[in-house]
Chains A and B, each alone.
Chain A
Amino acid sequence: EAAVTQSPRSKVAVTGGKVTLSCHQTNNHDYMYWYRQDTGHGLRLIHYSYVADSTEKGDIPDGYKASRPSQENFSLILELASLSQTAVYFCASSDEGGEDTQYFGPGTRLLVL
């Protein structure tokens, strides 16, 4: 079965601090995604990548950066965390972008105080 892991699973951060969320997949997939989930909004795409060393902006990229140093790893970086970034963050991978099944990680619950 496809495996996507995320770390940390939960985090408390202070406003203005830097937060890095990590995602690792062992599926050999080209595509990786970062989403945030808020009540009433479903999942919203922040950044995605279809090849190592390249990232693309999703629908809500402001306040977030992404890094894809290898095919297996995809990080989401909050340089200056804000209260509005409190959410659950999910990472996913797929073989052929939206033309294929997505496999999700367990999520990271981020609380910004």
Chain B
Amino acid sequence: GQQVQQSPPASLVLQEGENAELQCTYSTTLNSMQWFYQRPGGRLVSLLYSPSWAEQRGGRLTSSAASNESRSSLHISSSQITDSGTYLCAMERPNNNNAPRFGAGTKLSVKP
């Protein structure tokens, strides 16, 4: 079936102030993507939603997509300690009533 792969695959450690780029790749053409943030043991919170692969911005976050390469990215600029947590991407699947498929997530740790 359609797979969503996230990279870095499991975890990423940054020094405070550094920039980060997280990526999602997928195995087929999909219509839209969404990035979520989750604190340990917490609920998922939507960060950015990109219909039709438009670039989206929200504060220090930017999502971009290269649909011809089946890839989307989340850029975090000037990382802060409070950015620590897990970031997950989700892709819409038009052949499955648009039900999203999630990547496994990347755990980001920002150190002082």
Contacts and interface: CB of A to CB of B under 8 A. Distances in A.
Genuine A/B complex:
yes
B90 A99 contact: no
A40 B80 CA distance: 25
B99 A42 contact: no
B45 A104 contact: yes
A81 to B, nearest CB: 22
Q: Interface size bucket, A side?
A: 20 to 34
Interface string A89-113: 0101000111111111111000000
A80 interface: no
Given A42-B88, A104-B45, A106-B43, A98 B103 contact: no
Interface residues of B, number: 31
B31 A99 contact: yes
B26 interface: no
A59 interface: yes
Interface of B: 1, 4, 6, 10, 31-32, 34, 36, 41-46, 49, 51, 88, 90-94, 97-105
